[in-house]
Amino acid sequence: MPTVTQYPTSAPPTRTGSTTATTPSGPAVVQTVPAPATGQAGTSVRLTTPRGPGTSKPKTAVPGTTGPSRPVAVHEPYEPPVLPPKPPFIPGEQDLRAALLTGGDLPPGFIPADAQGLGGSLAGCPLLANDPPGTTASANAVFSQAATVTTVSQSLLHVGDRTAEAMAAFDALPQVCARFEGTLSTMKLEFTTARATSPAIGDASVAVRLTISLPGGPALLAQDVVIVSHRGTIIVLSVISLTPPGDLLTAVVTRALDKVTARW
């Protein structure tokens, strides 16, 4: 098919047949059109797209991706800083006093009494007469109920890392202090120690019953004692009564432990 190549001039030539033109930024664009000859059928156009200055080169895609390659940020998993363990709280005497039972923690009728209670001495059983080895602070409280001739005594002792040693000694009371002499008020008495069922509370617990009698005579009183440990603190609760304390001791021990655990 005949074509004509056209170049810019002051006066454009007459168009006949097909036209070929150049662009300022690349090779000529060739357009082929049918000659106006009679009987010529159809029209075809062939375009050559120029690529001039400033045309960017196609980016090459990374195999397996849908776009050009780019740097990928890698994030390391977050790891919280390792902090040293918090040291255990060591209560002083003031802390122990704040955790003691009060009259409102006991059934109606109990009133605060002298911290010495009924007075007397348990020198025949040194473990009951003295604080356990390693005791750094202590506090005591005593309550009495005249109607039932009942006395509730509490001791809080902090022994820290010697707690296991102290609890093992209390657990041996029925053997070490099976029978010993002491005084209650001004009377000389005999004490017999037997193991009792301890409530499953605290870190560890021990329970004993002391039967109090006149030397060679019948039993007069019973003293039920429960010892509970919690984080280096030992709670000693005792109930002295003419009759078995029933659920009173369990309720008092539970309340005493709750007051300590609420603080440390």
CA distance 192 to 23: 122
Query: Is the per-residue pLDDT at 164 higher than 50?
Result: yes
Comparison of pLDDT for 66 and 211, the residue scoring more: 211
Query: Is the per-residue pLDDT at 230 higher than 90?
Result: yes
Query: Is the per-residue pLDDT at 160 higher than 50?
Result: yes
CA distance 41 to 36: 10
Comparison of pLDDT for 94 and 87, the residue scoring more: 94
pLDDT of residue 34: 54
Query: Is the per-residue pLDDT at 88 higher than 90?
Result: no
CB 170 within 8 A of CB 163: no
CA 158 to each of CA 10, 141, 150, 175: distance values in angstroms, whole numbers, following the listed order: 114, 15, 27, 25
Closest CA to 137 of 192, 94, 108: 94
The pair of structure tokens assigned to 42 is 């159809």
pLDDT of residue 30: 47
Query: Is the per-residue pLDDT at 172 higher than 70?
Result: yes
Percentage helix, strand, coil for the chain under 3-state DSSP, each rounded to 5: 15, 30, 50
Residue 31 CB-density burial (10 A; 0-12 exposed, 13-18 middle, 19+ buried)? middle
Is pTM beyond 0.85? Reply is no
CA distance 67 to 136: 73
pLDDT of residue 78: 81
Residue 1 CB-density burial (10 A; 0-12 exposed, 13-18 middle, 19+ buried)? exposed
Comparison of pLDDT for 115 and 180, the residue scoring more: 180
Within a 13 Å sphere around the CA of 86, how many CA atoms are in the beta-carbon half? 4
Paired with 191 in beta bridges are: 180, 212
Ranked by mean pLDDT, which of 65-69, 77-81, 145-149, 162-166 comes out on top? 162-166
Percent of the chain with pLDDT over 90: 55
Q: How confident is the model at residue 69 (pLDDT cuts 50, 70, 90)?
A: low
Query: Is the per-residue pLDDT at 10 higher than 50?
Result: no
pLDDT digits (tens, 9 = 90+) for 14-45: 444 444 444 444 555 444 445 555 555 554 44
Closest CA to 210 of 192, 227, 228: 192
pLDDT digits (tens, 9 = 90+) for 135-148: 999 999 999 999 99
Ranked by mean pLDDT, which of 82-86, 153-157, 184-188 comes out on top? 153-157
The pLDDT of 195-211, averaged and rounded, is 95
pLDDT digits (tens, 9 = 90+) for 47-57: 444 555 555 55
CA distance 15 to 3: 10
CB 205 within 8 A of CB 199: yes
pLDDT digits (tens, 9 = 90+) for 89-114: 999 999 999 999 999 999 999 999 97
Query: Is the per-residue pLDDT at 8 higher than 80?
Result: no
Query: Is the per-residue pLDDT at 220 higher than 80?
Result: yes
CA distance 138 to 130: 11
Q: What is the DSSP string of 182-200?
A: EEETTEEEEEEEEE-PPPS
The pLDDT of 70-96, averaged and rounded, is 83
Helix, coil or strand: residue 230: strand
